[in-house]
Amino acid sequence: MSEHTIDGIIEKYRGQPGSLIHALVEIQHQNHWLPREVMQKVADALQVPFAQVMQIASFYKAFSLTPKGRHEVHVCTGMTCHLRGAAKLRAKVEELTGLKDGETDTDSRFTYQTGACLGSCSIGPELIVNGKHYGRMTPEKIEDVLKQYE
């Protein structure tokens, strides 16, 4: 079995409780979120109490306990971006994806979120996809950006 499948990742760390975070990071990366039944498998294989797995998975922001899309789309709604037209970016992203803040589409392509300033105000308003910053964004440019992410 490929070590890049969830079961492959779990097998790689079987019997190694000290590798719990490594296992969860790899599964998060592969699957984009941590389903409860997968965390139970991790607990069994690594011989770690399920409650401890849940505690770690809930504590770190890098882990998601709800389904996530392959691509995370973020519109900054901090004050500077707001004053430079973030509301229009939000409206366009919502029109193109059909998503509201915090939602993931049914084919798991995008998870859409808005949020506070990420420290790149000088290039605002900005759209961030998978951590890549697109500054001085306009609603007209958004479709071309999103097309790059299948």
DSSP state of 127: E
Decide: residue 109, CB within 10 A, 0-12 exposed, 13-18 middle, 19+ buried.
middle
Is residue 69 at the binding interface for ligand FES, with CB under 6 A as the rule? no
- Alpha-carbon distance 82 to 102, whole Å? 18
Residue from 25, 118, 129, 145 in contact with ligand FES (CB under 6 A): 118
Query: Distances from the Cα of 146 to the Cαs of 18, 89, 134, in angstroms?
Result: 39, 12, 11
Is residue 117 at the binding interface for ligand FES, with CB under 6 A as the rule? yes
Q: Which stretch binds ligand FES (CB under 6 A): 31-39, 53-61, 73-81, 140-148?
A: 73-81
Is residue 126 at the binding interface for ligand FES, with CB under 6 A as the rule? yes
Q: Which residue has the tokens 């509301």?
A: 87
Residue from 94, 120, 134, 145 in contact with ligand FES (CB under 6 A): 120
Name the minimum Å distance from CB 76 to ligand FES: 3
Q: Which stretch binds ligand FES (CB under 6 A): 2-10, 20-28, 66-74, 120-128?
A: 120-128
Output b/e per residue, 62-97; b: 16+ Cβ within 10 A.
ebbeeebbebbbbbbbbebbeebebebbbebbbebb
Q: Which stretch binds ligand FES (CB under 6 A): 20-28, 34-42, 113-121, 141-149?
A: 113-121
User: By C-beta, is 41 or 82 nearer to ligand FES?
Assistant: 82
- Alpha-carbon distance 147 to 144, whole Å? 5
- Residues of the shown chain interacting with ligand FES in the complex, contacts defined by CB under 6 A: 76, 78-81, 117-118, 120-121, 124, 126
